[in-house]
Structure 1
């Protein structure tokens, strides 16, 4: 039956599998809230649109399905632009639907008015479009979900004029048959197979797009070594003897890569934030497998390129892997010695953090999904903490925004009901979105929130010192985080030893509300 378009949009989303929407209602988008419960969708009320966006991001990373957020005109859209930018940078499927003013060219001084709201969103989204009627709204939703499935997943923004949201509209059409994704088949990978057959030291670099549970078997069969990007951690599982880990940013990794006689990068951008240098280091053939043509045409100039998703490539490679004689050029001793040296480098660069990371890792279940913020603790952990499972550590790698961890962790915990989820944040970045503690308490999430409190912007201070700049504006007075958490209704702990920290973390997974665990640098 006919309903206001705002209500029909929720039904269109439900038809496409959406079961949770994150957002904040306002007078401009209230019509979108008319249909949420009617459609059988759960709504999570954030405390800030930035939090809603990060929650949608965290939900999408935990499930692989698009995260959806509803926001209002103007400031609501502006507030969620940072999460949109983060989702774009990290290839996260997210759909943001906002209201917009009916007319902005003639009238000035309207509530929430912007000069060009759609254009502003387009600077950080994959695309931003305005739907001026029901047909356009339904069509844009269809397009967004089709692209989430068939191409590199990135955030989309749809805005609908307020009058259109309020106007009666026919029901949305049933979702169209999705397009079939072109997948790699054994004949397609013949050039890669030929190179593997003559390779003695093949090296794979597995990125976030390498998605497959076959990589451990493939690498073992081929006798290949591997690196992972931060997003690809866990792709080979923990304990693979020829895994160099997420150590691509180590300067010495270029030397290791140069020693390989074949480098195969799967679903990895090999961007600045993956390498922190301009050249990968390879001195021989580079093979690239990626969905994105822009990646295939980048500065690394691969000699073999295949546009395909990582999963189908892995399946095609595994189907013919027995045709390749296992390489013998790598040894587990060589890899272990290099990793030990790099671990010592990490410890020397940011002293005192590695033992705390090790203690935390020992305290949590291996299948815990972790959401981290831009903090020195996470920078160390991403290099020395081997993941048993892929896609279980999420970090704002590309855009590098502060305040990501807590709301994203909430989104992940909503998606993973009954499974362990944890948050790691620094004392400064945590204050960007700490108000979302209220949302976590309302939802009754058993969420450990580890706040690494060094009392300053330590990474920036260290950078200033390296640049021979007298440290300035890097120290801020912190609140009493434990009392603050308790004021929201959460639990808190301030352990004085690593053993006490481990106990607090274990208890937090069983608590009926989130637990803030303040870890100070003198805990050792």
Structure 2
């Protein structure tokens, strides 16, 4: 068995477990983890800030389905990546963050990068945080993380390793373990809900992000039952937008509760039905509600489901699809009521956010359906994610739960690294872009073809609107922006400042053909001129 410093062994073990890319920043405290990266054959992406490294790992994981891995230093490095960890936790993204830590903190003060409780700090924003004080513990925790990524709800993990342990000689890591078996809790209960679906006259499915891998079975079930459906924002694309009884990702619209109340059975698959899904406390279901989810905490929430199945969405929907093999239903849902509802919701969105939807439509016209989109907390994305048609899941990524500004640029960089030649774009607001603008240097450095759309309304528009609704005089919501095109030039990136929709579309086409990133600066009145 080859002996190496543990820091080097960890990189070799990660490569053995399928890791090809690591995002991070080296420092004197974690430099031992960098000893084995090149030897192991892993690509390291140097972020400009640990927050950027975390969002890149998140974007990579969402794009590829593989865990995103990041290396950070003791103390501030860990603190800086905690925001991305919180985002990954809320949105069920597999991420492993490995940080160094001081050897001893109880009896000494004033050490470089010292924290009172680094392990505990990370635990506040991830699935678990553990300190490995031996090589064996580090190996075991890495395998635990990768095993749980396969069979449990995907959420970030934090592995903390003391500096002296990283520096110490360690025997080689153990052989790769067989993948853990999945125990499908509640599988026998599927039989109990099948009659309710078969006999319903107005069955309604709600698909969340947890159903993305089961989209083929989901579509088969709907075709065999003529059921209607909604999707959460994270579940967009599970059912193609052109399915005739698809009410779309409009659950957050108050009128969706009226539609849901007309169903005689509602099956919610892979969704928390959380505040950020509904923007109201209750779903509005007046009939039988069936919840399907891996997370028992979700099943026990305040929606008071009649049936709660702790089971993987793919197992549930494949079983249901098989059972409905000979079933051909004719429900009471009509395409006219779906068309009318979606038309009313579009008009409502257009009235709330004038000038955005024509730009959304123009964007859709020039993008391939294979384009992977990363958006930030910006009014353009808020409108677009309710109307932009998606025919496949996991192709629009947004910081849904934690709601972090500055997400889209580094996440899109991570996504582009993960998918290679597949087109990727980023959509940000003028304010949020400046949270992580420094990561533009990474996209330039790696020559990533990446259109970066900056939606510029010169203010924190959403906050201003919220203040007005609350009868608060708008305060601290207007900022002075830089010249974004000159900023792009300073980073050696391309830029464009289209003044009409035709020029906007051409700028997108040009950016997708460029050998590097392009800033596309779009004023919020572009469609109103």
Question: Which region of structure 1 is more displaced relative to structure 2, 134-143 or 308-317?
Answer: 308-317
Q: 1:492 maps to which residue?
A: 495
CA distance in 1, matches of 2:185, 2:302: 24
Please tell me whether the aligned partners of residues 202 and 333 of structure 2 are also in contact (alpha carbons under 8 angstroms).
yes
Deviation at 1:185, TM superposition (A): 9.6
Residue of structure 1 equivalent to 2:222:
219
Give the structure-2-normalised TM-score.
Answer: 0.98
**Aligned residue number for residue 459 of structure 2:** 456
Separation in 1, partners of 2:327, 2:224: 8
Q: Which residue among 258, 282, 300 is the counterpart of 2:261? A: 258
User: Is the 8 Å Cα contact of residues 2 and 170 (structure 1) preserved in structure 2?
Assistant: yes
Task: Determine the C-alpha separation between the residues in 1 that align with 2:320 and 2:416.
Answer: 34
1:23 aligns with 2:28: no
| Matching residue of 1:181 | 182
The equivalent position to 1:508 in structure 2, one of 495, 506, 511, is 511
Q: Distance in 2 between matches of 1:408 and 1:312?
A: 30
In structure 1, what is the Cα distance between the partners aligned to 2:111 and 2:309?
Answer: 51
**Divergent runs of 4+, >3 A:** 183-188
Contact map agreement 1:196 1:324 (CA 8 A) in 2 = no
1:32 paired with 2:33, answer yes
Provide the aligned C-alpha RMSD in A.
Answer: 1.1
1:386 is matched with which residue: 386, 389, 395? 389
Tell me by how many angstroms 1:214 deviates.
2.5
Q: In the alignment, what sits opposite 1:427?
A: 430
User: Counterparts of 1:325 and 1:449 in 2: how far apart (Å)?
Assistant: 46
Q: Does 2:203 match 1:209? A: no
Aligned residue pairs, count:
524
Paired residue for 2:10? Answer: 9
How many angstroms apart in 2 are the aligned matches of 1:121 and 1:147? 18
Change beyond 3 A, Cα 1:331–1:400:
same
Contact 1:207 1:267 in 2 (8 A): yes
* SS of equivalent residue, structure 1 residue 209: helix
Give the 3 Å change call, closer, same or farther, for CA 189–324 of structure 1 in structure 2: farther
1:188 positional shift: 4.3
Give 1:297-336 correspondences, 5 Å limit. 297-336=300-339
1:347 corresponding residue in structure 2 = 350
**Aligned to 2:481, what secondary structure does the other structure show?**
coil
Does the aligned pair in 2 maintain the 1:227–1:245 contact within 8 Å? yes
Offset at residue 389 of structure 1 (A): 0.9
Q: For residues 243-301 of structure 1, give each alpha carbon's deviation from its aligned partner in whole angstroms, at most 9, with x where no partner exists.
A: 00000000000000000000000001000000000110000100111000111111111
Task: Return the offset for 1:5.
Answer: 0.2
Instruction: Map 1:54-69 to 2 at 5 A.
Output: 54-69=55-70
Corresponding residue number in structure 2 for 1:133: 134
3-state SS of 1:286 partner: strand
Pairs within 5 Å for 1:392-471: 392-471=395-474
Residues in 2 aligned to 1:187 and 1:400: alpha-carbon distance in whole angstroms = 37
Give how far 1:81 is off.
Answer: 0.3
Instruction: Give the structure 2 partner of residue 149 of structure 1.
Output: 150
Partner of 2:238: 235
Q: Which moved more, 1:456-465 or 1:355-364?
A: 355-364
- Structure 1 runs not aligned, ≥5 long: none
CA contact (8 A) 1:491 1:516 kept: yes
Tell me if structure 1 keeps the 8 A contact 2:200–2:331. no
CA distance in 1, matches of 2:273, 2:65: 22
Q: Return the offset for 1:313.
A: 1.5
Runs of 5+ unmatched residues, structure 2: none
| CA distance in 2: counterparts of 1:111 and 1:119, whole angstroms | 19
Alpha-carbon separation, structure 2, partners of 1:270 and 1:119: 29
- TM-superposed CA distance for 1:321, in Å, is 1.5
Cα deviation, residue 183, structure 1: 4.1
Distance in 1 (alpha carbons) for counterparts of 2:125 and 2:189: 34
Q: Deviations over 1:190-239 (max 9, x none)?
A: 11211012200000000000122222222111100000000000001121
Which SS does the other structure have where 2:513 is aligned? coil
**Any conservation in 2 of the 1:482–1:518 contact (CA below 8 Å)?**
yes
| 3-state SS of paired residue (2:291) | strand
Contact 1:184 1:313 in 2 (8 A): no
1: CA distance, partners of 2:127 / 2:113: 24
Which secondary structure does the structure 2 equivalent of 1:37 belong to? helix
CA distance 1:187–1:132, change in 2 (3 Å): closer
**Separation of aligned partners in 1, 2:187 and 2:375:** 38
**Aligned residues of 1:367 and 1:388 also touching (Cα < 8 A):** no
Q: CA 1:184–1:214 in 2, change beyond 3 Å: closer, same or farther? A: farther
For residues 430-458 of structure 1, the C-alpha deviation after alignment (integer angstroms, 9 at most, x for no partner) is 00001000000111111000000000000
Does the aligned pair in 2 maintain the 1:446–1:511 contact within 8 Å?
yes
Q: How far, CA to CA, are the matches of 1:327 and 1:32 in structure 2?
A: 61
C-alpha offsets along residues 169-202 of structure 1, whole Å, 9 cap, x if unaligned? 0010012112111348986421121101220000
Alignment-derived partner of residue 372 in structure 1: 375
- Contact in 2 for aligned 1:185/1:313 (Cα 8 Å): no
Question: What's the CA shift for 1:325?
Answer: 4.0
- Equivalents in 2 of 1:106, 1:447: separation in Å? 49
